[in-house]
Amino acid sequence: MASLTLTNAYIPQADYFFSFNSPSWSLCCEQLFYFCFPFLVPLAQNYKRLLGVWGVSVVLLLTGMYFTPEEVIKGYWYVNPVTRLPDFLVGMLLFRCYEGLKNRKITSLQGSVMEIVSVGLFLLFYLYAAEVPKVYRYSCYYWVPVAMVLLAFSLRKGILSRILSNRFLVTGGEISYSFYLIHLFVLLSYAEWQKASGFSIAWYISVPILFGFIVALSLLSYRYFEKPMNKRVKQWLNKENTKHFSTSEKIT
């Protein structure tokens, strides 16, 4: 039931937050963020206030992390939607930065430098990650490099973003979340089948087959579930907004 209602990540026990299909913990986080978003929009309109709230949350986050035993890190700081909420605030701050930069004149050279530097920064953080305690690595450690990558590439001014604009790569990005949610379930099912049947397939045969199968499932999920549901939600929201404005006009 916890997995069905996307509440499994709130329970700090691996039998719950990694139950059924373990990547679904991220859906629990997204569900909370979407519920909170309408209440956070007024906050986002004031950049300084948003930054202040995020700053307070960071202090509380780091204090809590410092006193958390290592054996319960994942349950409290890696998968828990409440303690992941500052990540969402980072995204809101990042959007405000994007809004301030998108209309500025940025040359191709400047855009390319920004993209290359951001990728280099991310690699530097990644290579140094083993030296960082897990409690931080699982949560706030990657905020800066990931934010830099997202901001640099969202402007689409450099050579790397042009390369990534290839149609096939864009499709790969669109299905990436489906791939993430599906891949572990397929791999574990295959491992269980191997164990039960006693039949073994060489890795150089099984890996390409499994990869192709997961990609195919991801494409089907994106095409026949994600896109239609996104369209329906947008239509519903537009309809509700139209009703709201119509009612407001009648009252006035």
Residue 62: how many CB atoms within 10 A of its CB? 13
If pLDDT is split at 50, 70 and 90, which confidence band does 250 have?
low
> 37-64: per-residue pLDDT in tens?
888 888 888 888 889 999 999 999 999 9
For residue 40, the number of C-alpha atoms closer than 13 Å in the C-beta half-sphere is: 18
Inter-residue contact 160 to 115 (CB < 8 Å): yes
Written as six digits, the tokens of 18 are 């990694």
Q: Give burial (CB, 10 Å; 0-12/13-18/19+) of 213.
A: middle
Written as six digits, the tokens of 118 are 């951001």
Strand, helix or coil for residue 45:
coil
> 88-136: per-residue pLDDT in tens?
999 999 999 999 898 889 999 999 999 999 999 999 999 999 999 988 9
